[in-house]
Amino acid sequence: MFRPHAFAVDDPALLREVLRNRVFATLATVQDGALRFSYAPVVVDETALRYHLAIRNPMGLLEDGARVSVSCLAEDAYVSPDWYRSTVTVPTWNYIAVEAEGPVRRLSRDELRSLLEELSAQEENKLLPKPPWKMDKVSHARNNALMNVIVGFELAFERFEGKFKLSQDKNPDDIEGVIAGLEARGDAASLAIAKAMKR
């Protein structure tokens, strides 16, 4: 991704946090000379991420070693030039994005089951105090049938980088103006970007 120095983020712990909070990512690869995309929730580990796809998805046919790129747009919001207090400029967009790239490895059936358990636990924990849903609520036969129509992958991070475009190239007065404008707008995305700008 294009990353001017002011916006470049390479802290792996921070990038993993973004992926764990956003969870849903865009996957891309080249197959038979064509660029293909898929979309999947991910589980993030220290040096890799794991995901699953429908077995009928063309990207479900990838063999070990195939290269896949991952893109995750976490938050984004429009920035009005009227919010700047000292700069006369044009509209822009603030956002947080993470990209990764590396070779994939197909998961064994046991690893796939573990991925599904971790993914559901990861998301169910966000719904507490609701009692968490668990895979054992579905019959063994039904679980097996469902696992027969999906395939899991692990992508090892060879490139892992972020771009946090949060007005870092502006002066403090303008940054405060943008934060105030985003907070006044009040929608979830604008509030998330304002919060990130305050960090």
Residues 6 or more apart from 143 whose CB is under 8 A from it? 113, 135
Average pLDDT estimate for 64-76: 97
Whether residue 129 is preceded by a cis peptide bond, meaning omega within 30 degrees of 0, is yes
pLDDT of residue 88: 87
CA 154 to chain centre: 15
Read off the pLDDT of residues 175-190 as tens digits, 9 standing for 90 and up.
999 999 999 999 999 9
Distances (CA, A) of 89 to 31, 65, 81, 182: 42, 46, 6, 17
Pick from 193, 199, 195, 170: nearest CA to 73 = 193
- Contact assessment for residue 83 and residue 93, using Cβ atoms and an 8 Å cutoff: no
pLDDT of residue 87: 84
H or E element at residue 53: strand 48-54
pLDDT of residue 6: 95
Neighbours of 2 (CB within 10 A): 5
Average pLDDT estimate for 42-71: 97
Statement: residue 52 has pLDDT above 90: yes
Mean pLDDT of the chain: 96
Read off the pLDDT of residues 162-174 as tens digits, 9 standing for 90 and up.
999 999 999 999 9
Whole-model pTM? 0.91
All domains of the chain in start order, with CATH: 5-198 (2.30.110.10)
pLDDT of residue 184: 98
